[in-house]
Amino acid sequence: MSNPSLLILPGDGIGPEVMTEVRKIIDWYGTKRDLAFDVSEDLVGGAAYDKHGTPLHDDTMAKAQEVDAVLLGAVGGPKYDVLDFSVKPERGLLRLRKEMDLYANLRPAQCFDALADFSSLKKNVVAGLDIMIIRELTSGVYFGEPRGIIKEGNERVGINTQRYTESEIERVARSGFEMARKRGNKLCSMEKANVMESGVLWREVVQRIGDTEYPDVELSHMYADAGAMQLTRWPKQFDVIVTDNLFGDLLSDLAAMLTGSLGMLPSASLGAPMANGRPKALYEPVHGSAPDIAGQGKANPIACILSFAMALRYSFDQGDEATRLEQAVEKVLADGYRTADLLGEEGRSPVSTSEMGDAVVAALDASLS
């Protein structure tokens, strides 16, 4: 039987640095757990534009459609700000999501005990936080037509269209309900049904799916602005949240900062099952390319490492090994290892990107004894 296949797209900025640490983890699994992967690597974002004049070459897109999972670092940087919108680095990522039809974006927000003091909220509010936000990723206002900047009379007008079909809402709702069943059996759906027709349809469809297919799951509805307020008031009231593309973008970033650092948070973008039964999938850290620290060994690789842990769980049916890796990260943090973004006011010296990766490998080794 062939090894599962993984396409690595390091991207720009700190992407290649954090991905180097993930490669150490992948190698460890091949050597120590007899869990080998067929790994290939290619370009995306600014790196792809520099070589091909496009943020995602057609050949790379074809590879992404064929492999079991894609692991991406980060894209973008100020040197590309002058490019036309159609070839900006971020368009490469959007093309991957759209053409792979990765409609469910899973963004966990978990606060490790060792980092509870790093949140902007009180420790008792965030300690033990473990929620999952599922964001619809391939429709909504980011993709709706008409869109653009047009001239009306003597001024320009920017237009974006919020658009959802019932089937688009149904499939991401089911992703939310299925995730809730695996966790606390509680799902909160967020929209703006009080002022948006798309929100009215969203609420009606989610309620229907809940009533007919998931009566065992406790379903609630909340306006997205109220949801943002409640996330900062008492986030542990939530378990799984499902929401649309725009609100999911905003709410998941808000939830990310509850944990203390964007450098800690992974994500998974999942689509329909392939012939082998696994969903099409792309995994990436939540953080950006951080060009201001690129090449300096300051980047935190944990979000990218935890993104690979999500790949182990959702694409490769290796839930126990995913837990092993997550526990190794937790041990490293409990032992006091900190990259620069996690130092706070503790006065200690930070470890480098590679030292943090080495520490996780050492913790994995310790897990075997």
**What CATH number does residue 192 fall under?**
3.40.718.10
In this structure, which amino acid lies at residue 96?
L
Burial of 154 (0-12, 13-18, 19+ CB in 10 A): exposed
Q: Assess contact for 281 and 5: CB atoms under 8 A.
A: no
**Which H/E stretch holds residue 322?**
helix 319-334
In a domain, 121, yes or no: no
- Domain ends where: 239, 258, 277? 258
pLDDT, residue 59, reads: 98
Residue 293 has pLDDT above 70, yes or no: yes
**pLDDT class of 311 with cuts at 50, 70, 90:** very high
Active-site residue set: 142, 192, 225, 249, 253
pLDDT, tens digit, for every residue of 143-154? 999 999 999 999
pLDDT, residue 345, reads: 57
pLDDT, tens digit, for every residue of 156-201? 999 999 999 999 999 999 999 999 999 999 999 999 999 999 999 9
Residue 272 has pLDDT above 90, yes or no: no
What does the block give as tokens for 145?
């037509």
pLDDT, residue 24, reads: 98
Residue 262 has pLDDT above 80, yes or no: no
- What backbone torsions phi and psi does residue 48 show, to the nearest 5 degrees? -70, -40
Burial of 34 (0-12, 13-18, 19+ CB in 10 A): exposed
Q: Assess contact for 26 and 6: CB atoms under 8 A.
A: yes
What contacts 122, CB < 8 A, 6 or more positions away?
Answer: none
Q: Does the bond joining 146 to the residue before it have cis omega, within 30 degrees of 0?
A: yes
- pTM of the predicted model as reported, rounded to 2 decimal places: 0.90
- Domain ends where: 202, 229, 258? 258
Instruction: State whether 249 and 302 are in the same domain.
Output: no
| Residue 283: closest CA among 80, 146, 105 | 105
3-state secondary structure of 244: coil
What does the block give as tokens for 99?
């053409």
pLDDT, tens digit, for every residue of 67-126? 999 999 999 999 999 999 899 999 999 999 989 999 999 999 988 888 887 787 888 888
In a domain, 365, yes or no: yes
Q: How many domains would you assign to the chain?
A: 2
pLDDT, residue 1, reads: 67
Instruction: State whether 333 and 273 are in the same domain.
Output: yes
325: containing domain: 1-107+262-369
In a domain, 75, yes or no: yes
